[in-house]
């Protein structure tokens, strides 16, 4: 039941059992070798990547134990943080906005990533004999990874519309209904695409399909995040000094949000997709002392673990997206937001800015009145929901 292919031992080195062949099929298969490939491997290709044979486990025991410790830590931290986030967000249904919808779906995807880690551990310890664990691991991993990527991209685009097009026509797209439609579409695409790889019977088109998937669901979102981040940075730089002093902290929070999204992309998702590209182009990464193809097997397990790390890093994004509203929502869960617990709205004059009215007022004084976008910034729309 396990896919083990020993290679010729190298003189003076430890013999390593490798799975190089299923990882590196011909780039342009001919009908002959395509047929042979299908007869030998076919659909189990994705599942064979997740299998850690006993020989490889023994030869790299330290690496294996380290990865398992990391998976256990991510399981605990990911479940706790994302469960807490969902608990808080569920109490904000009456105050939901586009940002809240995207963030809730991101929290669900991260929680499912964490909950799928036990299946990965069980698969490794079963020496590849747990077929159900193989399907659960590969399906949940790809679905939730690409959902996380697309929801992070959606949050970045939402921030772009909120900051740069605060008073334009595009700002009208920032509705909860639009966000829910986008979220449902993301889940549908991720499930359908991943399922198509699970049941694929011809590996002649599997690696090219994975390569195109890397472009569509990683490279393009990454370029979008970088582009919108630069656009927002340029807008904030050009408006520097034209907004009230109390908005400076909000601008800094928006920049930290975008920086966090970029860090998550580069740290968690880039290594896995770089490996996918190297495998597609049959670029060998030779490491002294390893058998042929073993480096790609180890790279798979390490990059998969890094990809799952996003379930622990995304809660940082939640805090930046929701601003101080996150704390108010948590207080609301405890009943601290009732009318009796808050005094009447007071009107205070800023030392450096215009007169600010309470929630019922609409009058504003100062030079920002002529620019609706800067009025939005002055009102605190920049990083808030």
pLDDT digits (tens, 9 = 90+) for 226-247: 998 888 888 877 765 555 555 5
Joined tokens for residue 135: 């399907």
**Phi, psi of 68, rounded to the nearest 5 degrees:** -70, -40
3-state secondary structure of 355: strand
Structural domain range at position 177: 5-27+38-379
Residue 5 pairs in a beta bridge with: 18
Q: Is residue 47 part of a domain?
A: yes
Distance CA 277, CA 266 (A): 15
Which pLDDT value is given to residue 184?
Answer: 95
As separate numbers, helices (DSSP H) first and strands (DSSP E) second, the chain gives 17, 4
Distance CA 342, CA 67 (A): 49
pTM, full prediction: 0.70
Q: Give the Cα-Cα-Cα angle 158, 220, 187 (nearest 5 degrees).
A: 65
Worst-scoring range by mean pLDDT, 62-66, 123-127, 129-133? Answer: 123-127
**Mean pLDDT taken over the chain:** 69
Q: Write the CATH number for 225.
A: 1.20.1070.10
Worst-scoring range by mean pLDDT, 59-68, 318-327, 366-375? Answer: 366-375
Reply yes or no on whether the pLDDT at 98 is more than 70: yes
CA dihedral 281, 286, 291, 294 (to 10 degrees): -60
pLDDT tier at 195, thresholds 50, 70, 90:
confident
Q: Which residue has the tokens 């929801």?
A: 151
pLDDT tier at 19, thresholds 50, 70, 90:
very low
Reply yes or no on whether the pLDDT at 186 is more than 90: yes
Distance CA 291, CA 17 (A): 7
Closest CA to 110 of 153, 49, 151, 155: 151
Closest CA to 20 of 40, 32, 4, 33: 4
**What is the percent of the chain where pLDDT is above 90?**
10
Q: Are 311 and 110 in contact (CB under 8 A)?
A: yes
Reply yes or no on whether the pLDDT at 130 is more than 80: no
Range picked from 28-37, 268-277, 344-353 for highest mean pLDDT: 268-277
Residue 17 pairs in a beta bridge with: 6
Closest CA to 105 of 224, 186, 190, 193: 186
3-state secondary structure of 305: helix
3-state secondary structure of 166: coil
What confidence tens digit (pLDDT) does each residue in 286-344 have? 444 444 457 777 888 888 889 889 888 888 888 766 654 455 555 555 554 444 444 44
Q: Is residue 32 part of a domain?
A: no
Q: Which residue has the tokens 């807008």?
A: 235
pLDDT tier at 23, thresholds 50, 70, 90:
very low
Q: Is residue 247 part of a domain?
A: yes
Distance CA 355, CA 327 (A): 26
Number of domains in the chain: 1
């Amino acid at each position: 039941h396990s896919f083990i292919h020993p290679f010729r031992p190298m003189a003076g080195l430890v013999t390593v059992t490798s799975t190089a062949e299923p990882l590196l099929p011909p780039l342009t298969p001919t009908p002959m070798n395509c047929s042979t490939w299908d007869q030998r491997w076919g659909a189990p290709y994705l599942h064979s990547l997740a299998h850690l044979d006993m020989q490889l486990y023994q030869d790299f025991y330290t690496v294996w134990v380290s990865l398992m410790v990391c998976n256990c830590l991510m399981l605990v931290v990911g479940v706790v943080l994302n469960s807490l986030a969902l608990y808080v967000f569920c109490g904000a249904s009456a105050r939901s906005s586009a940002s809240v919808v995207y963030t809730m779906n991101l929290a669900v995807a991260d929680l499912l990533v964490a909950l799928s880690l036990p299946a990965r551990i069980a698969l490794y310890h079963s020496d590849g004999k747990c077929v159900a664990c193989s399907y659960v691991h590969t399906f949940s991993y790809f679905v939730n990874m690409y959902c996380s990527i697309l929801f992070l991209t959606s949050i970045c685009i939402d921030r772009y519309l909120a900051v740069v097009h605060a008073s334009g026509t595009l700002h009208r797209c920032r509705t909860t209904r639009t966000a829910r439609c986008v979220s449902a579409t993301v889940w549908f695409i991720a499930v359908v695409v991943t399922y198509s790889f699970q049941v694929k019977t011809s590996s002649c088109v599997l690696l090219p399909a994975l390569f195109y998937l890397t472009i569509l669901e990683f490279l393009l979102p990454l370029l979008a995040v970088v582009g919108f981040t630069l656009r927002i940075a340029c807008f904030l730089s050009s408006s520097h000094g034209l907004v009230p002093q109390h908005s400076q902290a909000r601008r800094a929070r928006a920049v930290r949000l975008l920086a966090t999204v970029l860090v998550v992309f580069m740290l968690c998702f880039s290594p896995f997709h770089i490996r996918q590209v190297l495998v597609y182009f049959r670029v060998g990464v030779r490491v002294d002392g390893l058998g042929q193809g073993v480096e790609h097997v180890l790279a798979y397990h390490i990059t998969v673990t890094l990809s799952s790390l996003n379930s622990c890093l995304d809660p940082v994004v939640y805090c930046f997206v929701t601003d101080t509203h996150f704390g108010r929502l948590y207080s609301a869960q405890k009943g601290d937001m009732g009318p009796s617990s808050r005094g009447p709205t007071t009107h205070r004059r800023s030392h450096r800015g215009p007169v600010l009215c309470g929630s019922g007022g609409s009058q504003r004084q100062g030079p920002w009145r002529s620019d609706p976008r800067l009025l939005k910034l002055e009102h605190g729309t920049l990083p808030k929901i």
